[in-house]
Structure 1
Amino acid sequence: MRVQALWQYPIKSLLGEPQKHLNVDTRGVVGDRLFAIVDAQGKLGSGKTTRRFKRIDGLFSLRAMTDGEALRIGFPDGRWTEISRATLNDELSGFLGEPVTIQQEQDVPHHDDAAVHVLLSTELQALQDDLPEVRIDPRRFRANIVLDSPKYITADGLMGRTLTLGSTRLLVTHKTERCGMVTMAQDDLTFAPQILRKIAQQFDVHFGVYAKVLRPGSISLGDAVAVSSEGAAQLPMRHADMPFK
C-alpha cells in the first residue's frame, strides 16, 4: 500500500484542504478539527445531532484553510475571513441562521470518535461498483488518509494491525460508523442519499477505519505503508471504550 491522499480539516464539519504532508502527534493530525463552530447550548456544529453534536445546515458551504500561521474561513460568495477577526462570530451567526461562536478545542477532542481516520481505495472502488450512477469521491468521507490498497487488503483484515507510514505508526482500532454527512452536497458533489443506504446494506453502516497514534511523526503523499501485528494488544475491547465518545 501507499499513501494516495492526505487531508486536514482545521474546523470541524467545514470543508477541508488536501495536503502533501501531515504531522501527527499523540492527539492525531496536527491542527485537524482543532476548532469547531459551537451553538448557543455548547454543542459542536455537525451534520448530525447527538449528545455532543448538533446538525447545523450550511456548514458544508464553508471552507477552512490555513495560510501560514493564520486560519481563514471561506464563504460561498468568495469572502475569506480570518478566525481572529472580531466580527467573525456575527458573520457566521448571520450566515447559519442561529447564534454560534468559533471555539478552539479544550480538554475533550473535537473528533467524532478517534484520532485518525483512514480510507482504503478498495472500499471506495467497491462502493463505486455498487453505485455506478453516483460519483463516489473520497471528500464525502472526510478521512485524513486515503490508502492506495490492493484488493486483498480489507478493513476487517486491518483490525488490530499497526500501520507504519513515513515516521508515524498507527494502530487500527475499529471501523467508522457512517451518518447522513456522506450524502450531503459539497462543492461539485450533489446530494446522494443512496450512498448511505448502500453502506448500510453492503457494509453494515461502516466504511473506513479509525486509528490511534502509537508513534508521532510525519506522513507524506506516496509513502509506502507497512502492516504488522505490533501493538494489537492495545486494541480497545469495545467501541464504547474509545476516549472520544
Structure 2
Amino acid sequence: MPDLLLQDSYRTGEPLLRVTALWHYPIKSTLGEAVPRLDLDERGAVGDRLYAIADAAGKLGSGKTTERFTRIDNLLALSAKIKTGTVQVVFPDGREINIGSDDLGDELSGFLGQPVTLKREQAIPHHDDSAVHLLLSSELDGLQTLLPDAVIDPRRFRANMLLQTPAGMTGGDLVDTVLALGSVRLQVTHKTERCRMVTLAQEDFGYDPRVLRTIVQEFDVDFGIYAKVLKPGSVQVGDAVDMAPGPRTDFRGNALGI
C-alpha cells in the first residue's frame, strides 16, 4: 500500500499525510498539553515525559504495573504544562505548582493517597516504548465506526502527533517507512501495542472498556505507530508529511541485514 500511495501523491502533487495535532507530556502518565510546535532530538520530543511520579519504592507511576512501572490511580486527574520555561503541575481544583516547589511532594502525596516524589529521567528513558508516538486519523475513524456511540478522542491515546491519513490506511502500512515532516526525519519502527490506559477517563470523557476490547478484537491490540528520530528538528501543526521507503527493521527499529 505505501508504494501505491506514493505514486498517487506524485501524480497529484498533493501530500497524502499532514500533521493535524501535536502534544507533549512533561510528566509521564499525567495529562499533557496540545502545542503548535514540537522540537525533537534523538530522545524524542524535547522534554516529553522527562519527569515521572515515583512511589516509595522508586517505581514510576503508570496505568499498569510492570517491572519498572506501578499502577497509581488518578494520575490522569493531574496535568502538566510548560509555563515561563518550567513545568507546572496542575491539580483538578486549578492550582498550579512549580516542579521546583518544596510543597509539591506533599501535595502530590496527599492527592494520590500515598507517598510519592517527582523523579527526573536519568539514564533510562521514561517512555513506555519508543521515542515518538503517532496516531493515524484513518485508524481513529475506523474505531469510531466500530463504536459509534463512544468518545474516540485522540487524547485517549496519548500520542505526540496526529497525522491526517487516507481512509483505510493502517499503522502497518507505515512500518519501515521514513517520514519527512517539518525539518524532522522519522523512521517508523513498529505498531503501538495498547493497554488499559486508553479506557480511562480524562477531563471531559469517561471510562470506556469497550475501547481496548475493540482494539484487541479488531486491530489485534495495535493502534498507532512508534518511530525513532533520524534527523532532529522541529515540526508544526499543518506541516505536510512526505513518505519514503526505509530499511526493514526489527521490532525495536534496528536495521535488518537482509
TM-score, normalised by the number of residues in structure 2: 0.90
Figure out how many residues of one structure are paired with residues of the other and give that number: 238
Please tell me whether residue 14 in structure 1 is matched to residue 27 in structure 2. no
Cα separation, 2, equivalents of 1:223 and 1:154: 20
Cα separation, 1, equivalents of 2:192 and 2:90: 28
Match of 1:116 in 2: 132
Are the structure 2 counterparts of residues 219 and 240 from structure 1 closer, same or farther at C-alpha, using a change threshold of 3 Å? closer
- Using the aligned pairs only, state the percent identity: 57
Cα separation, 2, equivalents of 1:178 and 1:41: 26
Q: Which residue identity lines up with residue 238 of structure 1 in the other structure? A: F
Checking the alignment, whether the CA contact within 8 Å between 2:189 and 2:251 is kept in structure 1 is no
What does 1:153-232 correspond to in 2, within 5 Å?
A: 153-230=169-246, 232=247
Please tell me whether residue 90 in structure 1 is matched to residue 106 in structure 2. yes
Cα separation, 2, equivalents of 1:58 and 1:164: 37
Shift of 1:152: 4.7
Please tell me whether residue 76 in structure 1 is matched to residue 89 in structure 2. no
Match of 1:24 in 2: 40
Cα separation, 1, equivalents of 2:74 and 2:32: 15
Match of 1:38 in 2: 54
Shift of 1:42: 1.2
- 1:62-116 per-residue CA deviation (whole Å, 9 max, x = no partner) reads 0101002121001111111001001111110111011110011010000000000
Query: 26, 40, 48: which one pairs with 2:64?
Result: 48
Cα separation, 1, equivalents of 2:245 and 2:72: 40
Match of 2:162 in 1: 146
What is the aligned-residue RMSD (CA, Å)?
1.2
Match of 2:155, SS? helix
Match of 1:62 in 2: 78
Shift >6 Å, 4+ stretches: none
Shift of 1:43: 0.8
Match of 1:114, SS? coil
Cα separation, 1, equivalents of 2:204 and 2:26: 21
TM-score, normalised by the number of residues in structure 1: 0.95
Q: Which residue identity lines up with residue 160 of structure 1 in the other structure? A: D
Match of 2:251 in 1: 238
Match of 1:37, SS? strand
Shift of 1:239: 4.8
Shift of 1:133: 1.2
Q: Which residue identity lines up with residue 170 of structure 2 in the other structure? A: T
Match of 1:94, SS? helix
- Structure 1: gaps (5+ residues): none
Shift of 1:151: 1.6
- Structure 2: gaps (5+ residues): 1-16
Query: 110, 126, 148: which one pairs with 1:132?
Result: 148
